[in-house]
Structure formats: C-alpha cells, structure tokens
C-alpha cells in the first residue's frame, strides 16, 4: 500500500483517492498497483456495490504519469518504464471491464494517465474546473492509456485534433463531446459523494440529480472546421490544409501543431487509424504497450521531457524536425510486435 493513494470504504462505496498533490497526483507504478489491488478485491466482494475515484486535495484530478521517471528509464534500459506501462495498462483494462458501477470525479486537471483512469468509468463527472487533455505529442510521446480507442471514436475527427494539438477541453466541452456523462458544479461534489455513499448502486441517477446545465461548449463553433481540416490521416496533409486556411483559429492551431514532435504526431495519427478498427480494448492495450516500450527510448521523448519538464526552456530539439523527414520505416519499427514473452497481458482473473 502507498500513501499516494488512499483506499477506503464508505458504506457499500469503495473509494480510491489520489493523494500526491505536489505532482498533481501524477501516477507512479506503486499507485497503479495499489488501485488495481483494491479494484480486484472489491470486484467479487458483495459488500461493495460501486467504486468512486477522485483526488484528496490539490488543484487537479490527475496530471498523468510520472514522465520524468519514464524518460530517465528510457535513457537507460527502459525496464522500469516497461514495468510502469504494464501496471498502468492493466489498471486501465481492469476499469474498462469492471462489472460494478465506477465513478470518476474529473475536477481540475485531467490529463494523460488521468484520462486513462477516468474514461473507462461508467459515470464521468466534469465541473467548471475540468481541464482535460492528451498533451503527449508535446513531450515526444503519444496519447496512450486507451487514447487510440477513445479518441478514434469521437465524432468529427475531434480525437485526431486532440491527439495532434494537445487541446485542453473544459467541463462544458467534455460534456458536449461525451467524454463526461454529467456536468456538476464543484460546490455540489461533497453532497454528491454523500448521495453516492448512501445509494452506490444508483450512481448515474445520483449524478443526474446534481447535474447542472453546462455553458455553451466553445468547441462547438469549430466542429465543422475540425472535421474538415483534421480529416486526413497524414500529418503533411493536415498541415497543408491549415496553411491554406485563412482564419485566426487555423493559424493558431497550425502554430500549436508545429511545436509538437513530428514523429509523435505521425505515431498518434497511425495509432488512431488502427485503433478505430480494433475489436477489443485488450487489443488496444497490447498495441499501445508495444509503442510505449519503444517510444520511451526515442530521442524526442527524452528531449521533450527535458525541454518541458526538467530544464523547462520549452525549446525541444525534435529529430527529425519536420514531418517530411520522418521515415515510414521509423514509424513501422515502433509499431512492430514484441516477442510473445515480452507482450502485455491483462490480469489473469479477467483475461
């Protein structure tokens, strides 16, 4: 057990509270394993009827994984990074297949690994403070933790837009796109938790009772442009379309896109294209594990983490620096299957 995750029960409600506030609750391997242990224990426990995941304090639900530690591992043999991804993806898959109601309170920053533990939940609460994003292309990674599954299934190419640009969505936008099932004012969350504890088996109904009407989603006015300009499956075509568009929005998104790792953007587009056709979430996790184990060794990941999170100069030196220089063979090598003995596997209990 780790103090970075608080595991308790409140009546018939199992509670998982992320408790690493100085890191905005960024996930470690120990945290993932502690959450999985609790979920597996409660899975067949008739005394637990539902599970609530939130954070204990601080300004965000979960900022992602501990990518600095992953980059340090990737600069070496990568074994610790592989172990983290294996544990994290098992947790993601366990939540995706969980037989009891699960509820995530996505209050505040919800990014990367935080998205990975929120989106599998049946009830997903956004608030006026929610800021949800998959910003991985900015650090040389890709939208993992099921991003290839979830983002590829969003309407009007919004998933591709999110994956490439790392766009931050507020609570109203999350509700509009279906990433959140309910929009609840932050001030109502304590009462909602009490209601959930009183009747955990009726989680969706409880959330509905406290739900408010969200503001107009800002992204709604850009949906047609996103559908059109992010329709191509090649990065070069997306960039060309934005370059040809005479609007402030297109110029802003183009500038954002040009700041991202070209290799990561190409990997992300291919992941979403393949993810749209995958038959199961287990297959998605297996494919993303292959990518994750390889991408942590790339120059762009180690450099992206250095530039944005360690030195914080915000000047990553991407190699290659332009999309045209990223070879198809390079991307193919990242997607190549691992030997069977190294492949990701779900928990035996739910395989």
Catalytic residues: 65, 113, 136, 144
The strand order across the sheet containing 182-183 reads 5-10, 13-18, 50-55, 102-106, 123-126, 182-183
User: Contact at 8 Å (CB) between 323 and 89?
Assistant: no
CA dist 209 → 92, 174, 178 (Å): 28, 19, 18
Best CA proximity match to 228, nearest among 179, 161, 149: 161
Counting every residue written for the chain, the total comes to 351
Residues 6+ apart with CB under 8 A from 80: 29, 69, 70, 73
What is the enclosing helix (H) or strand (E) of 10? strand 5-10
Alpha helices, H only, 133-278: 147-150, 158-165, 171-177, 189-198, 203-210, 223-229, 235-244, 248-258, 262-275
What is the enclosing helix (H) or strand (E) of 51? strand 50-55
What is the per-residue burial (b if ≥16 Cβ within 10 Å, else e) of 56-65?
A: eebebbbbbb
The secondary structure of the chain in percent helix, strand, coil, rounded to multiples of 5, reads 55, 10, 35
Beta carbons within 10 angstroms of residue 48's beta carbon: 20
DSSP 230: T
Best CA proximity match to 147, nearest among 347, 281, 55: 281
Which residue is listed with tokens 């609570």? Answer: 171
Best CA proximity match to 301, nearest among 73, 146, 29: 73
What is the enclosing helix (H) or strand (E) of 123? strand 123-126
């Amino acid at each position: 057990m780790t103090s970075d995750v608080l595991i308790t029960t409140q009546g018939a409600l199992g509670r998982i509270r992320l408790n690493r506030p100085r890191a905005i609750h960024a996930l470690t391997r120990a945290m993932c394993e502690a959450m999985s242990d609790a979920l597996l224990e409660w899975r067949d426990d008739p005394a637990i009827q539902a599970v609530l995941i939130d954070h204990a304090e601080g300004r965000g639900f979960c900022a992602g994984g501990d990518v600095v530690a992953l980059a340090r591992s990737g600069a070496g043999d990568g074994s610790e990074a592989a172990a983290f991804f294996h544990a994290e993806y098992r947790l993601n898959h366990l939540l995706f297949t969980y037989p009891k109601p699960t509820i995530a309170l996505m209050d505040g920053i919800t990014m990367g690994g935080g998205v990975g533990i929120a989106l599998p939940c049946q009830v997903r609460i956004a608030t006026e403070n929610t800021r949800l994003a998959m910003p991985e292309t900015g650090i040389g990674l890709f939208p993992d933790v099921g991003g290839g599954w979830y983002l590829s299934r969003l309407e009007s190419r919004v998933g591709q837009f999110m994956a490439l640009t790392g766009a931050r969505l507020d609570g109203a936008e999350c509700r509009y796109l279906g990433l959140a099932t309910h929009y609840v004012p932050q001030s109502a969350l304590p009462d909602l938790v009490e209601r959930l504890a009183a009747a955990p088996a009726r989680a969706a109904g409880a959330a509905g009772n406290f739900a408010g009407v969200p503001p107009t989603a800002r992204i709604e006015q850009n949906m047609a442009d996103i559908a059109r300009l992010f329709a191509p499956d090649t990065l070069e075509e997306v960039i060309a379309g934005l370059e040809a568009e005479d609007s402030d929005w297109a110029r802003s998104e183009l500038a954002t896109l040009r700041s991202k790792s070209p290799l990561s953007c190409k990997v992300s587009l291919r992941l979403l294209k393949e993810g749209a056709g995958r038959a199961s979430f287990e297959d998605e996790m297996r494919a993303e594990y292959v990518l994750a184990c390889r991408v942590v060794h790339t120059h762009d990941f180690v450099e992206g983490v250095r530039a944005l999170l360690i030195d914080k100069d915000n000047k990553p030196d991407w190699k290659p620096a332009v999309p045209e220089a990223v070879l198809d063979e390079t991307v193919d090598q990242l997607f190549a299957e691992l030997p069977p003995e190294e492949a990701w596997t779900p928990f035996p209990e739910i395989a």
